Amino acid sequence: MPVLLIAEDDEDIALVLTRVFKRAKMTVLRAEDGQAALDLIVQEHPDVIVTDLGMPRMDGWELITAVRAHPDVSLTPIVILSGHLRPGDPRAGSAQCCAILLKPCPNDQLLATVQELLDIGPHEHDSSDSPCPAEMPVSV
């Protein structure tokens, strides 16, 4: 089974997301903040990471930077799922993530995005203007 890590500090949203992905036959790991997520990612090597942006201890942007800098997990596909990202946020353009989805995101869109990244698998990201070669749709 594919392993998905969800970094989400909101308990209710985390429960809903966990249910959605478990129903899609994925193993779901959940972390309550960015630092806990990073620890779990390094330990468990999930296939895809779905992260919130606003979290205690380490936010989503910092988590993405830390994952990309860690040699064991740097190629892991990452999806940002946020309710607080404004259109045109410059950080969205240069973030080394694969896709950006805004809450509330329809479950089928979320699942399709994660599924596509599972198919693509691990891949490199550089820090230029379009850092992800997967060129997934960004909904911001």
CA separation for the pair 22, 30 (Å, rounded): 12
68: three-class secondary structure by DSSP: helix
- Shortest spacing between CB 136 and Zn ion, in angstroms: 7
Owner of token pair 């896709």: 99
Question: Per rule CB under 5 A, is residue 132 in the interface with Zn ion?
Answer: yes
Backbone φ and ψ for 124, nearest 5 degrees, come out as -80, 150
CA separation for the pair 122, 48 (Å, rounded): 9
- Shortest spacing between CB 51 and Zn ion, in angstroms: 13
- Shortest spacing between CB 66 and Zn ion, in angstroms: 16
Task: Give the pair of three-digit tokens for residue 111.
Answer: 């699942």
Task: Give the pair of three-digit tokens for residue 30.
Answer: 């959940």
Candidate segments 4-12, 48-56, 62-70, 127-135, binder of Zn ion by CB under 5 A: 127-135
Pick the closer one to Zn ion by CB: 76 or 85. Answer: 76
Beta strands in 2-138 (DSSP E): 3-7, 27-31, 48-51, 78-82, 99-102
Pick the closer one to Zn ion by CB: 3 or 134. Answer: 134
- Shortest spacing between CB 117 and Zn ion, in angstroms: 7
**Ranges within 86-125 binding Zn ion (CB under 5 A):** 98
Pick the closer one to Zn ion by CB: 14 or 132. Answer: 132
* Footprint of Zn ion (CB under 5 A): 98, 132, 134
